[in-house]
Amino acid sequence: MSEKKTSTKGLGRGLSALLGNLPPDESVVGSNSPSRIKTSEVCFIPVDTIITNPWQPRNNFEENSLQELSDSIKQYGIIQPITVRGTDDGKYQLISGERRVRAAMMAGLIQIPAYIRTATDLQLIEMALIENIQREDLNPIEIALSLQRLIDEFNITQESLASKVAKSRSVVTNYLRLLKLSTHVQLAVCNHQISMGHARALVVIDDEAQQEKILQRIIDENLSVRQVEDLLRRMQKQSSNKPIKVGLPKHLQLMKQSLSLNLNTKIDIKYNIKGKGSLIINFKSDEDLNRILSLIQKQ
């Protein structure tokens, strides 16, 4: 009888490669780990043997939410096991479930149910990131930082990254562009003061001070994403209607200086991008004007 292939629809090739191909009886902990556990089973591991994932994409854990989870754990236990990998020093490194571990410790649990997997450092990040993205646990900036870290530390392309996290390349690009925002704007996204739609609208502004000025308007006036986009279009239109200032070419600067010395008066030259302009000769009185005109006629 032929074996059926495990379906990984919706999770992307990266996740299936990480989780889908281990035989049910394969031992996945290191030779020095406390025990040898099969991946198809859930085991209980001591909470004090769990170490955090240094690449954990999630940075913020709300205390109120943790307390609620801890209270639930006290009453019902942990329904969904965490996922870890064994280490050579007999500990377990978290792949996913740090929030559950924190809440379990608050609840006073000594052991916690866990799946134990084999995973490289790259796979560790991928699994943690993919799980959080699929559950929508991360804010857009945390996702962007995690995606950028994968690119920087493991030298993978945006196309490869998009495939691993089961997103289109345009979605990955939109997340990464958020990192161009000022720190204040990024914090506003993390704190849910503005949405990712607001943030994406602000990305088109290069000046960070201007970003923050509009951010304050969004918060103060409770502007929608569409209102922000309309505001930016009006600002762009006003900016494009302003005359473009052109610096005076070198030869005209020399001419201005020479005329000023020869005529012994202040000279101004106006010049635009089309090459048109005006020459302004300043005089102090009628006598000074006649003097200047006399000099010009002689030359």
How far is 225 from 231, CA to CA, in rounded Å?
10
What are the pLDDT digits (tens) for 259-294? Answer: 888 888 888 888 776 667 888 889 888 888 888 888
Q: State pTM to two decimals.
A: 0.54
Numbered ranges of CATH 3.90.1530.30 in the chain: 12-120
- Range in 52-56, 106-110, 219-223, 258-262 with the lowest mean pLDDT: 52-56
DSSP-assigned letters across all residues of 177-244: HGGGS-HHHHHHHHTTSS-HHHHHHHTT---HHHHHHHHHHHHHHT--HHHHHHHHHHHHHHHHHSPP
Q: Which of 3, 41, 68, 98 is catalytic?
A: 98
Predicted confidence at residue 158, as pLDDT, reads 87
pLDDT of residue 201: 94
Q: Respond yes or no: is residue 98 known to be catalytic.
A: yes
Would you tell me which CATH number, out of the four given (3.90.1530.30, 3.40.50.300, 3.90.950.10, 3.60.21.70), belongs to the domain 12-120?
3.90.1530.30
How far is residue 105 from each of residues 84, 101, 256, measured CA to CA in Å?
16, 6, 78
